[in-house]
Amino acid sequence: MNLPKNTKTHQRSRRLANAIAKAGISLIAVDFDRTIVDIHTGGRYKQNGAVLSAHVRPFFANFLKEAQQMGLWVAIVTFSCQTTLIADSMSIALGGESNIKRCYLRGNDGSWSLPPKNNVAPDWQRRDLATGKTGHIYSVCHHIEHTFAKSISPTEILYIDDDLANVDIGRKAGIVHSCWCPATYEPNSCNQLLWSELEGKYLHGKDLNVMGNTADVEVDNKATRFCTVV
């Protein structure tokens, strides 16, 4: 029997989310601009959430919904200050508020701050929380721990970002399941890549190929070296 396309995508998303959960992942952290959406808003987007929601990649619209249904947490981490707009667009893209109940948003809107150093969870101590998206991610983990008594270590996070430097910072902070979403890909190709690489890793035990790339930024900021993580 041939199932409708949306049913097949639903089942595919559930299989991937289930495999990721079985691999020990508790939280999916995802950048917004040029990762969840196929454009860069620059924190200055002029249109409403309904228009922006049309730019959400189909992969994330399906997968993030099913990941929450499977009991995973989701963190949307962004340098944008337009968090109300982003929240509206995600609610629309995922089919309503009931589908973002396990989803938290951290942007540069001044609405949150990191806890004092003496109140940072042991697994996160001596991590660099001041650069990249690491602090954004930890803020969500801190909230989950204090609200639901569920601690999440860096190794229990799958982090996806289009910025190679942020991916590298995440790995150095112990978020070893950090991978690159190549925003330069044509939208449909990028969606296919997200499916194939994440299914390859979590369903078939393959190493990430394109999404395993990282940027090693030199200290003097004069050069950037690109390599593949083995």
Query: Which residues are CB-neighbours of 56 under 8 A, at least 6 positions away?
Result: 36, 37, 89, 90, 93
pLDDT tens over the chain, length 230 residues: 454 567 899 999 999 999 999 999 999 999 999 999 999 999 999 999 999 999 999 999 999 999 999 999 999 999 999 999 999 999 999 999 999 999 999 999 999 999 998 899 999 998 999 999 999 999 999 999 999 999 999 999 999 999 999 999 999 999 999 999 988 777 789 999 999 999 999 999 999 999 998 876 544 444 443 333 32
Domains of the chain: 5-228 (3.40.50.1000)
**DSSP-derived secondary structure for 78-132:** -S-S-HHHHHHHHHHHTTSGGGSTTEEEE-SSSS--PPPGGGS-GGGTTS--SST
With 0.75 as the threshold, say if the pTM is over it: yes
Q: What percent of the chain clears pLDDT 90, i.e. is strictly above it?
A: 83
> DSSP state, 133?
T
